[in-house]
Structure 1
Amino acid sequence: MLGDEHDKDIAAAIRYAVDNGAKVINMSFGKNFSLHKDWIKEAFNYAESHNVLLVHAVGNDGISIDESPFYPNDYNYDNKGEVCGNFINVGSINSNYGEKMVSYFSNFGKKNVDLFAPGENIYTTIPENKYDFDSGTSLAAPMVSGAAALIWSYYPNLTVQQVKQIILESGTKIDFDVIEPQSINKKVPFSELSKTGRVLNVFNAMKLAEKWSKEKNNLKL
């Protein structure tokens, strides 16, 4: 996440992916300033009109992106609202279930982070056709992207808004305090670090997707 991507490039890349048949676009980049947020909004809306889900890594600065904006984002900081219904912002957790479960590097935010997913010490591909362990919200976002792809592979008639809501509502709810990223011992309710207070749960997501596929009139917008 070097912050060197131009808004024009982001918008063009989203449109290109949509036009070439993508159903899920995983975005592992970000920056603290956006010159042309309108271009991004139009690209987000274009993806939504084509039933395409956008999944974004929230960044690795250990900060609240409610207070320090991080782009691209579906949240309009000026008007205090979301600009689309097809965007999921993902933070990172580790395998330490308990107060230390949130990755020390993960950004967070009650308004701007949707949920958390595993993103620490993930065995993944690296250059030169090899594998190794890596960490970052860039590892957490693909977990959600993969869950969305799995849902659609079984239930292709679901809308992008339904897939997003299924992922968010089916996550495991965490009801205890955790150590806030980049702090030594400051504890906060896990529910204050994201909109949902939940962690990705693929099993629950598939069960809910099956239920919703049989009940087509339960979309909540």
Structure 2
Amino acid sequence: MRKTITTGVRNNDKGLNGIADAVQLMAIRATPRVGDEYDKDVALAIRYAVDNGAKVINMSFAKYYSPEQKWVEDANRYAEQKDVLLVKGAGNDGADLDSAEMYPTARYIKGNNKAKNVITVGASGYDKENLIASFSNYGKEMVDVFAPGFNIYSTIPCEGGNNYEFESGTSMASPVVAGLAAVLRSYYPKLSAGQVKHIIESSVSKIDFLVVKPGKQKTNVAMTDLCHSGGIVNAYNALLLAEEINSGK
């Protein structure tokens, strides 16, 4: 399903139009139909995508247990060496990722260092009162940005034909950011993965009022308590900043 949401047919006067309508797509299955993904499959999928020319990899999956975390970390490092940006959903349990581990993670096994080529994405809502999706994971340090992930209307697989449906989750928010990253890397191919990550995080729409923290306890907090950037992705701002950086201003 995540693939169909990410890659639904574009500009066909049905459903919705995507963010990056001229990029090449590579669909790789790394998760089983039922249950958590295997670390081996995730690591091999990342390496396969990198070796076959991917510049941005969307990872709309998450789990709480990773017995072979190092395999995935090594694949992340390989992607970083090859200048590939990884974009992943934060997860949908209303949990604080600064204290609760969620895999794959940008945090390295040893030390407090984070991968420089990974963007972790939380899900935002649709209005001021529901700006942050109540189910979204968050983290002042471990979540980088928020993006639309509530009631996203797109394609779904079904028996006997195609269909459209509303879906919610960070698996919907992550492709929004991956699409934005793809646009940036298409228009400005000289930008590195690290620069694109910096641009996306630095160009967010800053939220200067209190929002409801996800989870069971409905407390009001600053947006900077929920993600590193303190905001929601803004494609227009990102393109302006990319142009500025690319031209050396």
TM-score of Structure 1 vs Structure 2, range by shorter chain: over 0.9
Tell me which amino acid in the other structure corresponds to 2:128.
Answer: Y
> Partner of 1:198 in structure 2?
231
Looking at structure 2, the residues matched to 3 and 172 of structure 1 have their Cα atoms a distance apart, in angstroms, of 36
Q: Which residue of 1 aligns with 2:120?
A: 89
TM-score normalised according to structure 1 size: 0.92
2:133 aligns with 103
Q: Distance in 1 between matches of 2:89 and 2:155?
A: 18
Contact 1:92-1:120 within 8 A present in 2 as well: yes
Match of 1:79 among 96, 111, 135: 111
Counterpart residue number, 1:137: 170
- 2:190 alignment partner in structure 1: 157
TM-score with structure 2 setting the length? 0.82
Residue number among 57, 60, 84 corresponding to 1:28 in the alignment: 60
Shift of 1:76: 3.0
Letter in 2 for 1:42: D
1:184 CA drift (Å): 5.0
Aligned residue runs from structure 1 range 1-221, under 5 A: 4-76=36-108, 79-82=111-114, 84-98=115-129, 100-128=130-158, 129-183=162-216, 185-215=218-248
2:79 and 2:85 in contact (8 A); partners too: yes
Q: 1:140 to 1:80 in 2, by over 3 A?
A: same
Q: Deviations over 1:46-90 (max 9, x none)?
A: 1111111100000000111111100101113652221x2110000
Q: Is the 8 A contact 1:3 1:31 kept in 2?
A: no
The amino acid that maps onto 2:127 is: N
Per-residue deviation, 1:183: 3.1
- Deviations 1:8-67 (CA, angstroms, capped at 9, x unpaired): 111100000111111111001111121222211210111111111100000000111111
Amino acid in the other structure paired with 2:223: F
Percent identity of paired positions between Structure 1 and Structure 2: 48
Aligned residues: 214
Alpha carbon RMSD of aligned pairs, Å?
1.6
| Distance in structure 2 (CA, Å) of the matches to 1:203 and 1:62 | 29
Gaps (5+ residues) in structure 1?
Answer: 217-221
CA contact (8 A) 1:119 1:140 kept: yes
Consecutive unaligned residues of structure 2, counting only runs of 5 or more, are 1-30
For 2:217 and 2:86, the matched residues in 1 are separated by 33
Contact 1:31 1:71 in 2 (8 A): yes
Tell me the amino acid that sits aligned with residue 176 of structure 2.
M
Q: Secondary structure at the match of 2:147?
A: strand
Going from structure 1 to structure 2, the CA distance change for 1:169 and 1:3 (only over 3 Å counts) comes to: farther
Q: Secondary structure at the match of 2:128?
A: coil
Paired letter, 1:104:
S
Do the aligned partners of 1:3 and 1:30 also contact (CA within 8 Å) in 2?
A: no
Match of 1:219 in 2: none
Paired residues of 2:70 and 2:109 also in contact (CA < 8 A): no
